[in-house]
Structure 1
């Protein structure tokens, strides 16, 4: 046991000192994974236990103004990332984006954008806190929690080890989708009627599925390039992860936008048939 702990200790410091990008230590919460792990643990404790227990005998909070401000901030920050993605369109090789670990302008800019992306994933956790405080815990599904905490971990690891290069494409795809997503959330927080627009919700889920497919292709093709210096271990992890996300989001899409409308259509048809039968009986 002592030997195992020693190996773990040595492996941890080898990763943090020899493998990690030393520049990442200059950024908030990046010197150690412990603060991020604590944030996730506290988040889980709040959304699963502390929050629901606190709200059990209370009325839902009216968070309309806070949510509008929150969604505006999310839109602005995601648009900022998209803007720099656009500026860097000729800097990154779409076939193989190697990481610039120097202190050059784009080397540092990509790392700072990666860190901003990580901070946004932490900010995303507040979505679930809002669900709890508004007593909408039915929205806190396995898909929701897995996606949120997984993205925080992924963003921290990405910033710490591969803050640049081909990681650009993850930030690009995700920031575009989240700009659309938080514009929708902004509309629904302003007027709940927008939340009933099924076509808009369906479009957002389609955009998310398209994002995962794009990332599978983008990172998958790196596995077949022997001359690309971007770490292939990222693709070995990231491709299966995005396949899993397609399965989860695909299941959500099928259940909510294909099977559910069919079920409602059958119910409406059965109800209409019953009305006709009762009408005919009356004569």
Structure 2
């Protein structure tokens, strides 16, 4: 008899290996039986946590740069390499758990159902639910990225800190309100970060991958923002049509504004770095 998986609310949920039994051996018992509800409750009951973290983070960005202004930069090459390797490995593992689950959901449900179904049924518990939860709370330690930038006296651009601040706030709100759209965003972000942090690791150990031009990563990021914006627009339309979707309108609006602003900022970054900057170099050589 097939195992029935239920969370602490008594809701049944399906896992990928139930559709493809051969995959069950790739999952640990802890993952298969993971109950994510406690983490959801914690996020819902503690909305001040991400706000406090963001305030502390912004203070560090300001005062950290002032502190380092007249001091020598720290090298930190080895800790940075290890940090990027850890994040890349973590993201690859998260991608391996969430992307196949999302693809299976898209195989068995319509896009509208994927955008609207209660996440505790469609992806919020078990193995996928564990890695979604890890993704949400990983936005806190990811702030350490900025420590390396500040302590090594590298340029702290607006796109960097704005991205960290808004992602942390949006992810926390999405998880606390149990947004049904979450798996799309989690799977995309894991995938892009797996490659991006892997690239950063190789750069940190001075092994620049010639087979992976940085423009490819930027294109992947822009594609992520395009899809994210489109999904938020689609969810907004469904809600306005009166469809029963397990996502709040304010979350969809916030997500649309966030992804839309990322799209603009990443396109602007790409144009400056990959189109305008090379032209300036050529002009200098010809001058």
TM range (shorter): 0.7 to 0.9
Match of 2:62 in 1: 48
TM superposition shift of 1:238:
2.0
Question: Secondary structure in 2 aligned to 1:256?
Answer: helix
52-61 or 140-149, larger mean C-alpha shift: 52-61
Return closer, same or farther for 1:229/1:53 CA change in 2, 3 Å cut-off: closer
Say whether the 8 Å CA contact 1:24–1:111 is kept in structure 2.
no
Return closer, same or farther for 1:142/1:198 CA change in 2, 3 Å cut-off: farther
Q: How does 1:89-128 map to 2 (within 5 A)?
A: 89-91=103-105, 93=109, 95-96=111-112, 97=114, 98-100=116-118, 102=120, 106-109=123-126, 110-128=128-146
Tell me the distance in 2 between the aligned counterparts of 1:77 and 1:27.
24
Matched, 1:151 2:167: yes
Task: Pick the structure with greater CA Rg.
Answer: 1
Return closer, same or farther for 1:113/1:94 CA change in 2, 3 Å cut-off: farther
Say whether the 8 Å CA contact 1:29–1:36 is kept in structure 2.
no
Tell me the distance in 2 between the aligned counterparts of 1:237 and 1:53.
32
Tell me the distance in 2 between the aligned counterparts of 1:215 and 1:58.
41
Q: Which runs of 5+ in 2 are unaligned?
A: 1-35
Tell me the distance in 2 between the aligned counterparts of 1:83 and 1:68.
22
Match of 1:237 in 2: 254
Tell me the distance in 2 between the aligned counterparts of 1:166 and 1:105.
10
Tell me the distance in 2 between the aligned counterparts of 1:101 and 1:171.
13
Match of 2:200 in 1: 185
1:134 maps to which of 152, 156, 178: 152
Say whether the 8 Å CA contact 1:223–1:235 is kept in structure 2.
yes
Matched, 1:169 2:187: no
TM superposition shift of 1:148:
0.9
When normalised by structure 1's length, the TM-score is 0.76
Matched, 1:23 2:37: yes
1:207 maps to which of 191, 199, 220: 220
TM superposition shift of 1:56:
3.6
Q: Could you say what the CA RMSD is over the residues aligned between the two structures, in angstroms? A: 2.7
73-82 or 224-233, larger mean C-alpha shift: 224-233
Q: Which runs of 5+ in 1 are unaligned?
A: 1-21, 271-283
Say whether the 8 Å CA contact 2:98–2:183 is kept in structure 1.
yes
Return closer, same or farther for 1:31/1:144 CA change in 2, 3 Å cut-off: same
Return closer, same or farther for 1:248/1:59 CA change in 2, 3 Å cut-off: same
Return closer, same or farther for 1:198/1:28 CA change in 2, 3 Å cut-off: farther
